[in-house]
Amino acid sequence: MFKNFLGNKANTALTIEQRKSECMREAVPSHIAIIMDGNGRWAKKRALPRVAGHREGMKTVKKITRCASEIGVKALTVYAFSTENWKRPKDEVDFLMRLPVDFLDTFLPELIERNVRVETIGDSSVLPLHTQKALTEAMETTKHNTGLVLNFALNYGSRDEMVKAMKAIMMRVAEGELTAEQVDEDCITAHLMTAHLPEPDLLIRTSGEVRLSNFMLWQLAYTELWFTDMLWPDFNEAAFLDAVMSYQKRNRRYGGLKGEETK
Ligand code: V0D
């Protein structure tokens, strides 16, 4: 009866701790990807500058990182800056580029304590030097950690990633290391920036937009998608755990079906 109740939307009655233990009763998604949308709208609703929304959004990243590491998620990829975001006003971009520095100044000790490894995907080489320095330091300091991989997508675009993979494969073919015949799905997967990560089991997008916006297009082929109207700064542990429970419920519904049949 408890279980039926939990399978329904009525789990608003559950505390965070109850939700966590409920999630941990079955397979927790290995890799969760998140499109963190709605910071600007959150600020606008409060007549605050957009950057106030980004700052609040950074707090949500910390909360969700903690929660994901506690329930045993192996990888959490968060879309922090897209290749499109350069089109925003310079002041806003400058502010965003200080967030990694700020985040690590205030959170690196906890990441270490939690055994979290920081990684990035996307082309970081064109980010300001102070941003790159913070990233390098975070990745270096945490590279031996064996817990959650906290993977920031920064200056990331999925099509750009595929173009780079395609070029790398063509170079290897040109050098005779690989034949065109050998190029298959696994080969392409291995040349993406996520090569070392499992495919995302669950994608969360906040703020009511229902699209992928050039995020992990190849990797999301079989991923469960979960959309919410909540704005990213309002997103919290309860909503995150509800998304995980909803994923587990969908998985359960497939019964014994595995592999091709669920694809
Ligand atoms: C703004 C909401 C953390 C989304 C979250 C440079 C947009 C807050 C980081 C971060 C951003 C990145 C790398 C790292 C440590 C922290 C971050 C950006 C934006 C873009 F190693 N939050 N955050 N980076 N926002």
Quick one: DSSP state of residue 207? T
Domain boundaries 27-157+202-250, corresponding CATH code: 3.40.1180.10
Q: Whose CA is nearest to atom 8 of ligand 1?
A: 58
Is 34 a pocket residue for ligand 1 (Cβ < 6 Å)? no
- pLDDT, residue 12, reads 74
Per-residue pLDDT of the chain (263 residues; tens, 9 = 90+): 344 343 445 567 899 999 999 999 999 999 999 999 999 999 999 999 999 999 999 999 999 999 999 999 999 999 999 999 999 999 999 999 999 999 999 999 999 999 999 999 999 999 999 999 999 999 999 999 999 999 999 999 999 999 999 999 999 999 999 999 999 999 999 999 999 999 999 999 999 999 999 999 999 999 999 999 999 999 999 999 999 999 999 988 876 565 545 55
- pLDDT, residue 94, reads 98
- pLDDT, residue 263, reads 57
Taking the CA atoms of 122, 128, 130 and 133 in sequence, report the sign of the dihedral they define.
positive
Q: Which of 254, 252, 181 is nearest to 6 (CA)?
A: 252
pTM for this predicted structure: 0.94
Q: Is 151 marked as a binding-site residue?
A: no
Is 232 a pocket residue for ligand 1 (Cβ < 6 Å)? yes
Map out the domains of the chain as residue ranges: 27-157+202-250
Is 96 a pocket residue for ligand 1 (Cβ < 6 Å)? yes
Q: Which of 44, 144, 62 is nearest to 104 (CA)?
A: 62
Is 38 a pocket residue for ligand 1 (Cβ < 6 Å)? no
Determine the residue type at 199.
E
85 counts as catalytic: yes
DSSP per position, 136-199? HHHHHHHTT--S-EEEEEEEE-HHHHHHHHHHHHHHHHHTTSS-GGG--HHHHHHTSTTTTSPP
- pLDDT, residue 1, reads 32
Active-site pick, 4, 8, 11, 85: 85
Q: How far is the CA of 8 from the centre of ligand 1 (A)?
A: 33
- pLDDT, residue 206, reads 98
Q: Which residues of 225-253 are buried (b: 16+ CB within 10 A; e: fewer)?
A: ebbbebbbbbbebebbbbbbbbbbeebee
- pLDDT, residue 258, reads 54
Separation CA 181–CA 187 (nearest Å)? 11
Summarised one tens digit per residue, pLDDT across range 143-187 is 999 999 999 999 999 999 999 999 999 999 999 999 999 999 999
Q: Residue written as tokens 């030097």?
A: 129
Q: Whose CA is nearest to atom 10 of ligand 1?
A: 100
Separation CA 238–CA 16 (nearest Å)? 6
Do residues 187 and 135 touch, judged by C-beta distance below 8 A? no
Do residues 175 and 101 touch, judged by C-beta distance below 8 A? no
Do residues 151 and 64 touch, judged by C-beta distance below 8 A? no
Q: Which of 43, 55, 145, 150 is nearest to 103 (CA)?
A: 55
Q: Is 54 marked as a binding-site residue?
A: yes
- From 61, 108, 129, 209, the mutation candidate for ligand 1 (largest count of ligand atoms within 8 A of CB) is 61
Is 157 a pocket residue for ligand 1 (Cβ < 6 Å)? no
Q: How far is the CA of 3 from the centre of ligand 1 (A)?
A: 37
